[in-house]
Amino acid sequence: EAPPPRPEYGTPIEVLNRVFGYDAFRDGQQEIIEHVANGGDALVLMPTGGGKSLCYQIPALVRKGVGVVISPLIALMQDQVDALQALGVRAGFLNSTQDFEERRVVEAQFLQGELDLLYLAPERLRVPATVELLDRGTVALFAIDEAHCVSQWGHDFRPDYLMLSHLHERWPDVPRIALTATATPATKQEIATRLKLTDARHFVASFDRPNIQYRIVPKTDAKKQLLHLLKTEHAGDAGIVYCLSRSSVEKTAEFLTANGIEAVPYHAGLDASVRAANQSRFLREDGLVVVATIAFGMGIDKPDVRFVAHLDLPKSVEGYYQETGRAGRDGLPSTAWLAYGLQDVVNLRKFIDAGEGDEQHRRRQSLHLDSMLALCETVECRRVQLLNYFGQPSEPCGNCDTCLSPPESWDGTIPAQKVLSTVVRLDRERRQKFGAGHIVDILVGKKNAKIIQFDHDSLSVFGVGSDLRDVEWRGVIRQLLAQGLLAVESNYGALVLTETSASVLRGDRRVMMRREPERAPAKAAAKSA
């Protein structure tokens, strides 16, 4: 039979004060909590750090029975449960890391009404015994955390999430609350459909993080650029530096340490004990820098992270936004800084083409990358573009690099034609594939060994690009890739034309480009371009 309600928990505001020790609700929390506490279904979109957890924890404490939280973040469950227990909340979890005996203890607690919250990995619901267990106890609500994992179009799809649509059929009277920090309007719709949240109220918080200053700079020497940023603007600050590969994580951490900045590495290849030690140092100490792959940060709740730096291009705007969202949870000014270059685009395009998965999967990844590139190459406010992506129109923010020093846009049609003509000529040499570096060498007329070997100094395009410098040509090629006017061939990383290239070559299409304010090409060169 059902356990008696726990009167000591009281109303939502009382729980907030007494159990969690906070004075007031944050924007949006109270409405969500009251709606769910009264038995309503909810779909909650709130940015990272917005305070989603309380939105299901408090209703779970207010309602009779156990709040069942479905979460894919198995590695965090122990920490989450420890934190709740420290507040006097009776919490437990069930996932694949436990042995039979550990699970049995938690199951008994659940059945005897000795739990307020039960964290559950989604794959547990595949096991009939788990379903039977839930049937025998009293469930106060289902919270579906990281709900975007149900979206096949999203960046983080988990097949087990598809089963969560059955929750409603099996337990029609139990309210459900689905939460995510990464939903675009289309993803939101998909979540509602797939989880059968037909009658759910939608709560959409503002995704703006006004205290975060977004900056995206062209990559020259990423580590040196990072060092400059830290020395000039973030001396002694805690921050996270994201790199794509484990080896660049290690090298960057060593580089920072060698240059007098306390930094520790974090990636999945490190010993679990080293990872745990580095993570807990980051949480406890002031001013430590963690250099990490994206394996780091999920559920990390450190309020005074002053900067998040990306040394490589993230694969999607969702990922970028989630990672940068770890800065400035305390509301104080913080920096989101990204260095991105031509090689990033080449690498990611190659990676997508060569990657596993079907055609649809590749197209999806490609669209994600396109949105990320559009953000990098925009001449408009970064924040307007970001918020637009999440379906929230806004005005230029005055606190991003493009607002603070607006880049000019320039007509890059002629340089674009020069690049594309070079690609056309090289394409005739079937046996050999050439990358961006070689194309730049041809354009600026560099007689190096490879040029001479292939007799490329006799091409009509040899030296036609002496009006721009190497870096500027790389910028032109990067932007052509970003705009889909040039593509990367998957095997060799050679540059190839796309269906839209022809319109540029024919002169039917103008190509507008972004000029970086800090390294603008000489005026004369730009005019002749």
Q: Are 268 and 240 in contact (CB under 8 A)?
A: no
Per CB under 5 A, 381 contacts Zn ion: yes
Per CB under 5 A, 383 contacts Zn ion: yes
Per CB under 6 A, 52 contacts ligand ADP: yes
Per CB under 6 A, 301 contacts ligand ADP: yes
Nearer Cβ to Zn ion (313/336): 336
Least distance CB 50 / ligand ADP (angstroms)? 4
Per CB under 6 A, 48 contacts ligand ADP: yes
* Residue selected from 5, 51, 391, 445 as contacting ligand ADP according to rule CB under 6 A: 51
Q: Which does 494 bind (CB under 5 to 8 A by kind): Zn ion, ligand ADP, none?
A: none
Per CB under 5 A, 403 contacts Zn ion: yes
CB under 8 Å, gap of 24 or more: what pairs does 23-30 form?
26/50, 26/51, 27/205, 27/206, 28/203, 28/205, 29/54, 29/55
Neighbours of 393 (CB within 10 A): 7
Q: Which does 381 bind (CB under 5 to 8 A by kind): Zn ion, ligand ADP, none?
A: Zn ion
Per CB under 6 A, 46 contacts ligand ADP: yes
* DSSP secondary structure code for residue 456 in this structure: G
* Residue selected from 6, 18, 26, 527 as contacting ligand ADP according to rule CB under 6 A: 26
Nearer Cβ to ligand ADP (49/475): 49
Residue count, binding to Zn ion (CB under 5 A): 5
CA-angle at 251, arms to 258 and 274, nearest 5°: 90
* Residue selected from 143, 397, 420, 468 as contacting Zn ion according to rule CB under 5 A: 397
Nearer Cβ to ligand ADP (49/415): 49
Least distance CB 29 / ligand ADP (angstroms)? 6
Least distance CB 369 / Zn ion (angstroms)? 23
C-alpha to C-alpha distance for 250 and 450, rounded to whole angstroms? 33
Q: Which does 383 bind (CB under 5 to 8 A by kind): ligand ADP, Zn ion, none?
A: Zn ion
Per CB under 6 A, 53 contacts ligand ADP: yes
Residue 317: which residues within 8 A CB-CB, separation 6 or more? 368, 371, 372, 375, 386, 389
Handedness of CA 102, 104, 107, 112 (dihedral sign): negative
Nearer Cβ to Zn ion (95/378): 378
Per CB under 6 A, 324 contacts ligand ADP: no
Per CB under 6 A, 28 contacts ligand ADP: no
Least distance CB 381 / Zn ion (angstroms)? 3
CA contacts within 13 A on the Cβ side of 495:
30
Least distance CB 215 / Zn ion (angstroms)? 10
Neighbours of 343 (CB within 10 A): 17
C-alpha to C-alpha distance for 272 and 265, rounded to whole angstroms? 12
Closest to 16 measured CA to CA, from 87, 115, 112: 87
Residue count, binding to ligand ADP (CB under 6 A): 13
96, two tokens: 């694949």
C-alpha to C-alpha distance for 313 and 384, rounded to whole angstroms? 20
* Residue selected from 22, 157, 255, 351 as contacting ligand ADP according to rule CB under 6 A: 22
Q: Are 293 and 268 in contact (CB under 8 A)?
A: yes
Inter-helix orientation angle 470-482/413-427, to 10°: 80
* Residue selected from 9, 15, 25, 312 as contacting ligand ADP according to rule CB under 6 A: 25
Nearer Cβ to Zn ion (30/392): 392
Nearer Cβ to ligand ADP (53/335): 53
Per CB under 6 A, 49 contacts ligand ADP: yes
306, two tokens: 């002053």
Q: Are 495 and 343 in contact (CB under 8 A)?
A: no
Burial degree of 221 (CB within 10 A; 0-12, 13-18, 19+): exposed
Strands 408-411 and 512-515 come out as antiparallel
C-alpha to C-alpha distance for 227 and 518, rounded to whole angstroms? 17
What residues line the site for ligand ADP (CB under 6 A)? Answer: 22, 25-26, 29, 46, 48-54, 301
What residues line the site for Zn ion (CB under 5 A)? Answer: 381, 383, 397, 400, 403
